[in-house]
Amino acid sequence: MKRELIAAACCLALAACSRTKPEAASGKEAGETSNLVTVEEAAQKNVGVEVAPVRRTLLAERLQTTGTVQPVDSLVSQVRAPARGRLQQVLARVGDRVQAGGELARLENLEAGELTAQLASARAELQRLKVLLAAQSRQVERNRKLAAIGAAPAKDLEQSRAEFEALEESIRSQESAVAGVAARLKRFGASESVPGAPVITSITAPLGGIVIKAPASPGEVVETGAPLFTVADLSRVWVQAEVYEKDLGRIQLGQSAIIRVDAYPERLFSGAVSYIGDTLDPQTRTAKVRCEVPNGDVRLKLDMYATIQLPTTFSRQALAAPEGAIQQLGGKAVVFVQLGATRFEARQIEPGKTVDGLVEILSGLREGEKIVIAGTYHLKSIVAGKELGEE
The predicted structure's pLDDT at residue 189: 64
What contacts 268, CB < 8 A, 6 or more positions away?
258, 259, 260
Sequence-distant (≥ 6) Cβ neighbours of residue 288 within 8 angstroms:
240, 241, 242, 243, 275, 276, 277
In CATH, the number for domain 33-59+316-387 is 2.40.420.20
CB within 8 A of 196, min separation 6: which ones? 113, 116, 117, 120
d(CA 124, CA 41) in angstroms, rounded, equals 108
How many CA atoms are closer than 13 Å to the CA of 367, on its beta-carbon side? 6
Give per-10-residue mean pLDDT for the chain (391 aa). 44 39 41 75 90 88 88 94 90 93 90 77 88 89 83 83 90 89 74 64 92 91 93 95 89 90 91 93 93 93 92 80 91 93 93 86 93 91 71 45
CATH code for the domain defined by 78-109+198-232:
2.40.50.100
State whether residue 334 is helix, strand or coil: strand
The secondary element (H helix, E strand) that includes residue 108 is strand 103-109
CATH of 62-71+235-315, one of 2.40.50.140, 3.40.50.300, 3.40.1530.20, 2.40.30.170: 2.40.30.170
Say what the pLDDT of residue 12 is: 39
Q: What is the pLDDT of residue 388?
A: 54
Instruction: Please give the single-letter amino acid code of residue 21.
Output: K
Residue 28 has what pLDDT?
41
- How much is the pTM? 0.57
Q: Are 218 and 87 in contact (CB under 8 A)?
A: yes
pLDDT of residue 279: 93
